[in-house]
Structure formats: structure tokens, C-alpha cells
Amino acid sequence: MKVAVVGLGLIGGSFALALKARGLATTLVGVEANAQNAAVALQRGIVESILPLSEAIADADLIALAVPVDVIPQMAVKILNRVAPHQIVIDMGSTKEELCEIISLHPSRARFVATHPMWGTEFSGPQAATVDSFSGRSVVICEKERSDAAAVATVEELYRALGMSVLEMNAEQHDLHAAYVSHISHITSFILSTTVLEKEREEEAIFNLAGGGFDSTVRLAKSSAKTWIPIFMQNKYNILDVLREYIHQLNLFRKALERDDTEALNDIITRANDIRKVLQK
């Protein structure tokens, strides 16, 4: 299979490395607008060559879009305008509703499979790409019924070969659930970090006193603004809904603490402990 990966950052680079390691691609080429990222990708052997978009996709069997989510819809249309009947186009972005709406009436819509590998780290760029990143994770396929059945089967088989389990959702469901289980985690991390930096003026105290709990909670605050601002804007209304509930829960905790209401605090923490049962299923 000849594969063209458009965007060689953390996700695209890791996808290419995983395909290469498992022998799932006979040829791997990349498209990368950032010259430094392109150089790193070539140096690490993530792809064999960096080509212009039109040249890279010309004879690719699979075209994977791993660019920021605000770029994906327009690029998807551009590629679908040129796609041949045997080619498959996938995206790897973490928002889907706007993308699926924009491509919904395209004559080649069936050649597109909307996917979201549920993996990421606080790091970015091809230097952070890892070979086993997708293994043991889930991938969501959206609007499966709008894609060619053979194309979907190929994509599912590919992801399973990378060690992933496959889930199905419509685009609206995906974006809502992603807001609750992924996007709010990053917001919490960003805001906790800014709160600590605002109130704790002694950097040495932060470094010396911050334990594993703090470190793991703010880990995502190292994530790239260039990646996350487009995600927040595309999923704005779902995220605002999540934030309203999150602020409500914070206020319940604050009021219980103000009233010295240990019973209410116990109820909040006990309910929070139930997340363990969900994650252990």
C-alpha cells in the first residue's frame, strides 16, 4: 500500500512510524509545510520523501490528513476534488462535525473515512513521534454509512493491525463526547497551570514541592496552542456546555468548603471515585 501522510507532527509522524514498523506500507511519502518538521521527519526516516501535495497524493492508495483541525475541511475538499475511485482519504483530527458537514455533498464523499485515533501527548512535532503510540488505544470512525464499505473495511483493518480497537459514532456524538473526556482535560490543565503561575511567585517552591499528582494534572499544559485553539474553536458549543457543568461542580465544592460541610465534601469525593469503576470496565 502506498501511503501519503499530510502533516508530519506528533500524530502523522507516529502513524507513519507505526505503518513502517509493521510493514503495512510499501511506500511512505509526506507533505509538510514546516521546513524544520520536514527535515526532522526525513532525518528520522518517518517518510521516504517530502513532496508537494498534488504529487504526493497522485498515486497514493491511502491519504492521511494529520494537520490542525481548522485546516482539515478545506484540505479534504481539495483532495477529494482530485481523488481517484480506488483511493482512500482519512483524517485523524479530534473534531468531526464541521468536517463531515463540509464534505457531505461532495461527489467523492464515499472515498473519505472520518477517523479519530484516541491518543496524544503534551508534545508536538515529528521529534515526538513514537512507533507504538496507537497500540492498545481506540479509534473512532464517524459517519461510517457515508463512506464506501470497502474503504471502511480497509481502514478498520489497518487500525486493528496497529493494535487499536474500533468504535463507531456519528459526528455530533463524537464531538460531544470528545469535549467531555478529552478537551476539558486540556482546559483544566491549562487553567490550573496559569492559576499556580499567577499565585505562586516562587518558581523554586513549585519545582521542589510539586509532587506526582500535580505533575500528572498539569502535564497537558505543555500542549501546543497551535494544536488546541483550533480544536476549542471548532468544538466551541460542546466545550461551553462542559465548562458550565465543570464550573457548577467547582462551585458546589467551594460552597461545601465555605460551610465546613464535610458530609457534602465526602459525597463529592465519593461520587468522583466512581470514575474508577467506569475506567476499569
Q: What residues does each domain of the chain span?
A: 2-169, 174-279
Q: How confident is the model at residue 212 (pLDDT cuts 50, 70, 90)?
A: low
Alpha-carbon Rg of the chain, whole angstroms?
21
The reported pLDDT for the residue numbered 196 is 83
Does 18 have pLDDT greater than 80? yes
The tally of CA atoms less than 13 A away on the side-chain side of residue 6 is 26
Question: Angle at the Cα of 70 (from 127 to 32), degrees rounded to 5?
Answer: 35
Helices (H), the chain: 10-21, 35-43, 53-58, 72-80, 97-103, 149-161, 171-178, 184-199, 203-209, 212-218, 225-234, 236-258, 262-273, 275-279
pLDDT reported for residue 208 = 65
User: Which class for 97: exposed (0-12), middle (13-18), buried (19 or more C-beta within 10 A)?
Assistant: buried
* pLDDT above 90 (res 197): no
Residue 98 scores a pLDDT above 90: yes
Contact 16, 126 (CB under 8 A): no
Q: Looking at residue 199, what is its pLDDT?
A: 74
- Rounded Cα gap, residues 30 and 5, in angstroms: 5
Is the pLDDT reported for residue 206 higher than 70? no
Average pLDDT over residues 243-254: 96
**Average confidence score pLDDT of the chain:** 93
User: Taking residues 109-133, what's their average pLDDT?
Assistant: 93
Residue 117 has pLDDT above 90, yes or no: yes
Helix axes 184-199 and 236-258, enclosed angle (nearest 10): 50
Average pLDDT over residues 61-85: 97
In the three-class reduction of DSSP (H, G, I as helix; E, B as strand; rest coil), residue 47 is classed as coil
Which one-letter DSSP state was computed for residue 157?
A: H
Question: Is residue 50 a contact partner of residue 42, using CB atoms and an 8 Å limit?
Answer: yes
User: Which CATH architecture group holds 174-279?
Assistant: Orthogonal Bundle (1.10)
Cell numbers for 271: 461520587
Within 10 angstroms of residue 214's Cβ, the number of other Cβ atoms is 14
Q: Using CA atoms, how far apart are residues 116 and 15, in angstroms rounded to an integer?
A: 12
Confidence check: pLDDT of 158 > 70: yes
- Asked if residue 200 has pLDDT above 80, the reply is no
Q: What architecture is the 2-169 domain classified under in CATH?
A: 3-Layer(aba) Sandwich (3.40)
